[in-house]
Amino acid sequence: MANGTRTADYAAAIASWRKDAQFSVDYSKAYLGMEHAYVLGLSGRGQTIGINDAGVLTTHPQFQGAGKITGLRTVVPAAYGNDGLINPRRRWEGHGTHVAGTAAGSRVDGLPMFGNAFNANIYSATANFAAGDFLWYKDQVIDGTLVSTPRENIVNLASTGQVRIINNSWGSGNSLPYDAPLTTVLQQFRQDLGTFYDPVLKNDVLVVFSAGNGSGVHASVDAVAPFSDPRLRGNWLSVANYQANLTATPSTSFCGQTATWCVSGPGSNIVSSVPAYEFDRQGIQAQFTRAAYPTLYAATTVAALQSASVNRFIAALNEYLGAKDAAQRAGVAFDETAARRRVAQEAVAITLVAGSRLNTPDGVTANLAGILAGNLNILTPEFSSAVLVEADAMMATMLGRFIRYTGPGYAAYTGTSMAAPNVSGFAAVLMEAFPEYNTPLISDILVSSSKDLDTPGVDLKSGWGAPQMEVALRGPTALRAVRDVTVVAGTVDVWSNDIADARTRYSAEVLQAFPNDIGGLVKKGGGELILTGNSGYTGPTRVEQGLLTVNGQLRNSALTLVAGGTLGGTGRIATLNATGGTVSPGAAAGGIGTLTVAGNATLGAGSQLLIDVGTPGQSDQLAVTGGRLQLNGGTLALRAAGGRPLLYDERYTVATVTGGVAGSFATPQALSAILFPSLSYGPNAVTMRIAAGRYADIVSATPVQTAYARLLDGNRGAYANLRGTYDLLDVQNATTIRTSLEGLAPRTETTKRALGTAAIDHMARFYRDRLAALRPGSGGGGTVSMIGRPVEVAANAITMPGQQQMVSDAGLTTVREGALPDTMSAYLAGGYINGSNAAMPATSFGDARERFDGMYIAAGLEGEAGEQGTLGFSLSYTDLDSRRLMARSASGELIQGTLYGKLGAVGGPMLDAQFSAGVFQARTRRTGTLIGTTFDLATRDNALALSTEVGGSYAFGSDSLHLSPRVALRASRIDFTPTGERGSGPALLFRQDRFASLQGRAGLQIDGDSRGFRPFATAYYVHDFEDRPGVVTATLAGGKGATASFLVAGQDHDWAEIGAGVAYASGAVEFSLGADTTIGRDDVRNQSYRGAMRIRF
């Protein structure tokens, strides 16, 4: 808002500026539409405007603040204005101060006005014009001293490198009609400028000239400078003066042949800053009466007053010459000093009277001084110089009487001098809006934004017309030449205007002189330029840097794209030739869209077509609707819209063509380690399918990665069932795929087999030890024994699920006498198991060991089978759990029945046998994340478990020591069924697998007895004859059947088992302690520790 508050209501913000008192102090800002810039916060900030004029009253409130105004030091003598200040002999001079305030006066509360670019800075240069200064003609014309530097100031201001605009509200008068033909204008105005204005071009400065106040004549010679140096045309503006009703001010000069760089600005009754003073007109007229100067008072127009003033002064000079001539002829003395004084007095009186009529102390000083300096051959330099010096002194005295300075003030001035700074301020605001644009482009935007006046089109009177900020902020509407358009990285400019060749806007008389003004643009800088208009310019469009987004139309411009540039959008262009760079149809932010080429399109070897792709079938397209698509080996790149990855077998159309496709793209870059685009070229389209390479080609040669690669490659035909896995892995790089596959190793399969082995081996050892304790012919005497603490073991398994069991085979034994017939006995046994097994080989934990523990419980009946035989039957339950490692676990439950027996005599040969059959129920679970997606997979298998052992032994020794060598053959197997993992994630289906063992066992049993103290020991050598495969075969669950083998831990063939203990009996109580372990076995190690107590009743 104009009062500094913020609002989202654009219309309200516009209205607030239009109602603002400072804004509406005159019509100038509304005429130009400055409110449309102010609501956006634009005010010329960061810009510096050079004011090349009569000097500025720098103490005026409009110019306060650090850095607001700077003065240019020139070479003029000290008595003249310098450092941008007013000539001290002309303190009333308000022209430069008014111009500076109009262009860039600050916006200060309480002041009546502000400049169009109120936050711009000012660089003031004093031109020291002749008006109002008698000494100027003596010093500059007669003595040849440089006291006026208006054109030099342009060059010097430009050379500072600090200004972008130089305003020149001055010019040389002429009488050439505004509609004079170009040949006449060139004949009269053309100069040899050479390289004089090179600093203007080098420093990219816009030079603004007032057209002049010649009441309908052609613009002045300085406004016409581009005819003498055509390079200046984009850096030059000529400004005529038009009123609020969009008609010409009567005093204005017109654009004439400067029309193509001329606009019509507001310059009538413009209120701005001036030095304030009171001019005593009545006092002057009282001293210099009507009776004394009748012709000056009788004049009713400025021209008539100037004519009367000149005639009166010429009469005074003629009187001087006549008197001097008469004295010479008469031979009498002539008082030259007095005569000169009278001429000086007459000059002062005439200019004061004229000034009182015109209400300016300047009067007609320049007219009169010019007569003196222009007639030196008649008047002599000495006479003219003396008169000018004395007139200057008299003038200073008179003005001391008739002028009282009152400080800073404001006044309304009229003229092209006021129109020019209004346009300069407009240009500064536009430069703030487009800070990277060069001056020729700013100039094109400014002039082409204009509202048409007078004759339709750009005409010889008003030029382009009245500049309009609302239009200018949307970019150019016409271009006079091919312009560089620089948009810095990180910024976006939007041109929503329709852009035409400038020549299409010219009236017939202007077009005749400038028939070749056609537009084009070269996009530079790393930022984005968006074109949304329906543009018909015919010059080239070239994208060299950054992004050009065409969302409108370029109907006639041939577009060239080179390395470093990007073309995007959803619009329509005439033709396309991409020798390099990137063609990216659709929105710049990755949105999907179609870029249309009405004619031929060529994508060269250095170019890239970047296609945003969404869901299948949804992608950017290059649509060549009126010609051929020529592909010369450029690349096709893909970008997932919205971050969605491209997936296997998705299909897209990347280009459609009506005139055929020739050539091809280079081989597209892979999308990932697996996926790549596969292109097909038809007569009217280029289509793409996302194809997949082989995992086997990118994985490392580890067993796990190799196995998974075989599964993934072999089951690609089942993609629809397995896309949850493929879609995660397909889009990754090789390193991620390798790491991910390694992390999916089915380690639990090794653990599962180890648990089965431990369970079945442990129970075989339990029954082997049971057989060793049996004595043929002894049925147990009707006892019931409790071995270990089976009730506690079962209770612990219930009350502490998942906790690790720390001890194995606790064997405390309790015997209840007489509970069964004398030929039979029964027992209930239980205890703890622990151990470890080798992990899955060739994995990150392949050298580690996996711990497991659990419990067992068994119940059995034993009885005599004749005098030398014993037979038993038992049911057992074993529960083992692995300790969780790397989010993986396994458990197993062995439920089996066992028939065992022993035949022989004590002290002689014995034969023993056992046979077990049951179910090993195995469970596995592996959890984790695959490419950020959680998976949880579990299996459950009910495998048939069989075990049998036949052994023979012979007992030697005495009552105190027994030695029993024993040999045995043991066979066992677990038939694992085909088992599939259930749950979320990359599930495997494991094929049927038989885990078999055939062992030969040879050993020695020793026990003794001495006064109730009974040590015992066993030792076995074991050899496993079975060669089990060290792999498990699996496929992907839901796949097409392709299988792969995963390693499991290998088997040991030879190891030892030893056990030892001691028992002590005293009275009715017997205690025993024992332990056994494997030696030299790595696949499944296990130990047991037993303690027993037997009480006789």
Containing 272, the helix (H) or strand (E) segment is strand 270-279
Sign of the CA dihedral running 199, 200, 205, 211 = positive
Cross-strand partners of 838: 849
Angle between helices 336-358 and 365-374 in degrees, nearest 10: 150
Strand order in the sheet with 69-71: 69-71, 121-126, 48-53, 165-168, 206-210, 236-242, 262-266
Rounded Cα distance, 231 and 194, in Å: 11
DSSP symbols for 460-480: TTTBT-B--HHHHTT--SEES
Q: Which amino acid is at 398?
A: M
User: Three-class SS of residue 565?
Assistant: strand
H or E element, residue 999? strand 993-1008
Angle (CA) 208-213-214 rounded to 5° is 125
Which amino acid is residue 940, in one-letter code?
R
Task: Please tell me whether residue 43 adopts helix, strand or coil conformation.
Answer: coil
Helices assigned H by DSSP within 294-415: 294-298, 302-330, 336-358, 365-374, 376-379, 381-402
Start-to-end Cα distance in the chain: 109
Note whether 840 and 747 are within 8 A (CB): yes
List, as one string, the DSSP characters of 509-523: HHHHH-TT---EEEE
Residue of 689, 254, 753 lying closest to 460 (CA atoms): 254
| Per-residue CA distances from 797 to 163, 787, 829, 925 (Å) | 91, 17, 15, 20
**Nearest CA among 623, 548, 621 for reference residue 586:** 621
Torsion-angle region of 204 (φ positive above 0: left; ψ -120 to 50: alpha; else: beta)? left
CA distance 979 to 889: 16
Instruction: Report the candidate in 175, 183, 238 with the shortest Cα–Cα distance to residue 207.
Output: 238
Reported in sequence order, the residue ranges of 470-628 that DSSP labels E, i.e. its strands, are: 478-479, 482-486, 492-495, 500-501, 520-524, 528-531, 534-535, 541-543, 546-550, 553-561, 565-569, 572-585, 594-597, 601-613, 621-624
Cβ 225 vs Cβ 236: under 8 Å: yes
Contact 256, 214 (CB under 8 A): no
Residue 63 token pair: 């110019």
- Is there a contact between 632 and 605 (Cβ–Cβ < 8 Å)? yes
Beta bridge pairs of residue 569: 585, 586
Q: Which amino acid is at 978?
A: P
The secondary structure of 1008-1036 as a DSSP string is E-BTTEEEEEEEEEEEE-----SEEEEEE
Q: Which of 292, 288, 232 is nearest to 258 (CA)?
A: 232
Structure tokens at 553: 């139309």
C-alpha triplet 1022, 1027, 1029: angle, nearest 5°: 135
Q: Cα–Cα distance between 538 and 574 in angstroms, integer?
A: 10
User: What residues act catalytically?
Assistant: 53, 95, 417
| Burial of 95 per CB tally in 10 Å (0-12, 13-18, 19+) | buried
